[in-house]
Amino acid sequence: MTDPGQRLRSSLTDQSASTVEFDSPIAMEALRATRVLHAADQEPFPAPGRIRVITIANQKGGVGKTTSSVNLGVALALYGLRTLVVDLDPQGNTSTALGVDHSVGTPSVYDALVGDSSLAEVVHPTTATPLLSCVPATIDLAGAEIELVSVVAREYRLRRAIETHLQELPPEQRPHYVLIDCPPSLGLLTLNALVAGDEVLIPIQCEYYALEGLGQLLNNIDLVRRHLNPGIAVRTILLTMYDGRTRLADQVAEEVRNHFGSLVLDAVIPRNVRVSEAPGYGQSVVTYDPGSRGSTSYVEAARELAQRGVALPPLPSRPTPGAPVGAPVGAASPHRSAATVPVPPSPEETP
Ligand SMILES: Nc1ncnc2c1ncn2[C@@H]1O[C@H](COP(=O)(O)OP(=O)(O)OP(=O)(O)O)[C@@H](O)[C@H]1O
Ligand SMILES: [Mg+2]
């Protein structure tokens, strides 16, 4: 077969097409890019055993929380899993990277947290892929930490909004994954995200001081588990911004693996300039430069996340994810489910 385009196309369905035929770096990158771009022709990622609500948290700034929320979300959706990304950071970087408007006045997560809006009213489609939706954050959210203080059941606001949304959606529109991007603090917004989630994904940057402050985050998660959300657990650690040229990156990665063992994904996200360029174009790196190492690493991390999710048992408090893959994460059905959402009472509500 001599036509390079035809070789590339036929390799899409043949995962074993490898370095033998595509023996130059550019050809390999083209092959990787084509595979990501034509994800629909590839084997979809397996659906999780239950709807996974994953809180992406680390109070340290700039470790890759937003980049991971965006790119894992896009990768999961490209490979057939309905995904909802909730931007819980007033900076609104997740919304930007997903091409979702977050100017003042846009219906946003603030309206669901502090106001009376349902999540369905503030979910927006994304430009990245039809199976991916986003609840954007506007700058209003910056005031929410203070405004929430006087709100009844303030720690449960996001949990209730998500639970109600999942119950009300028809099964074929329920997301398989809900990813919540946290701000770099341990305030009331992050607390809401930890109470709303079933599991935590912690991105750890392969840099000096990477583990600093992690103890505080783990203590907080422990406190939330004991007092507010017994189901929460750290289930995934993702190593980000790995720079293979430095010994430091290897040392940090090894230390994290020694400490967290199998929680750490095998896939490691390299430091890659395309990753940092993508948000400037309102895109994820997976759509901006699908063949880049940043993109393929995020696709691999998402694949691993999805594979690990298959064996998770259903939760009694959650509806099951809808079987058919393909329908976008839609707005709420007008039909309200009679099922109640069992959320523990807030301290304010208990006598
Ligand atoms: N793998 C990577 N390679 C290169 N640059 C990266 C990579 N991951 C993230 N970045 C860049 O590093 C910066 C911080 O990343 P990001 O915004 O995802 O971190 P964050 O933890 O969400 O930050 P914050 O705490 O401010 O919310 C961004 O400019 C982003 O583009
Ligand atoms: Mg961020």
pLDDT in tens, 177-191: 999 999 999 899 999
Say how far apart CA 189 and CA 197 lie, in whole Å. Answer: 12
**For residue 277, which of 255, 267, 292 has the smallest C-alpha distance?**
292
Closest-CA residue, ligand 1 atom 25, reads: 61
Q: Are 144 and 188 in contact (CB under 8 A)?
A: yes
What tens digit of pLDDT does each residue of 34-77 get?
767 666 667 899 999 999 999 999 999 999 999 999 999 999 99
User: Which token pair is 160?
Assistant: 């209730």
Phi, psi of 204 (to 5 degrees): -120, 125
Give residue 24's pLDDT.
72
Residue with tokens 């490691």: 268
* SS3 assignment, position 286: helix
Give residue 152's pLDDT.
82
- Do the strands 124-125 and 233-240 form a parallel or antiparallel pair, or are they unpaired? unpaired
- Residue from 265, 276, 296, 297 whose mutation best tests the ligand 1 pocket (most atoms within 8 A of CB): 276
Q: Are 286 and 272 in contact (CB under 8 A)?
A: no
Distance, CA 109 to ligand 1 centroid (Å)? 22
Q: Which residues pair with 151 in a beta bridge?
A: none
Q: List alpha helices for 79-118, DSSP H.
A: 93-97, 109-113
User: Which token pair is 291?
Assistant: 């063949």
pTM for this model (two decimals): 0.86
**Cβ neighbourhood burial of 19 (10 Å; 0-12, 13-18, 19+):** exposed
Say how far apart CA 87 and CA 93 lie, in whole Å. Answer: 8
- First and final C-alpha spacing in the chain: 76
Distance, CA 54 to ligand 1 centroid (Å)? 19
Ligand 1: residues within 6 Å at CB?
61-67, 89, 93, 184, 240-241, 269, 271-272, 275-276, 279, 294
Q: Are 167 and 319 in contact (CB under 8 A)?
A: yes
**More reliable by pLDDT, 5 or 102:** 102
User: Is it the case that residue 333 has pLDDT exceeding 90?
Assistant: no
Domains assigned to the chain: 50-309 (3.40.50.300)
What tens digit of pLDDT does each residue of 76-133 get?
999 999 999 999 999 999 999 999 999 999 999 999 999 999 999 999 999 889 999 9
Nearest ligand to the CA atom of 297: 1
- Give the pLDDT band of residue 334 (cuts 50, 70, 90): very low
**Average of per-residue pLDDT values in the chain:** 85
Q: Which residues contact 3 (CB under 8 A, 6 or more apart)?
A: none
Q: Are 285 and 275 in contact (CB under 8 A)?
A: yes
What is the DSSP secondary structure assignment for residue 137, as one 8-state letter?
-
User: Which token pair is 145?
Assistant: 């930490």
Q: Which amino acid is at 136?
A: P
Say how far apart CA 86 and CA 349 lie, in whole Å. Answer: 26
Distance, CA 1 to ligand 2 centroid (Å)? 46
Atom of ligand 1 nearest to the CA of 70: 18
Least confident of 40-54, 232-246, 265-279: 40-54
Distance, CA 69 to ligand 1 centroid (Å)? 11
Query: What DSSP element (H or E) covers 202?
Result: strand 199-205
Distance, CA 41 to ligand 2 centroid (Å)? 32
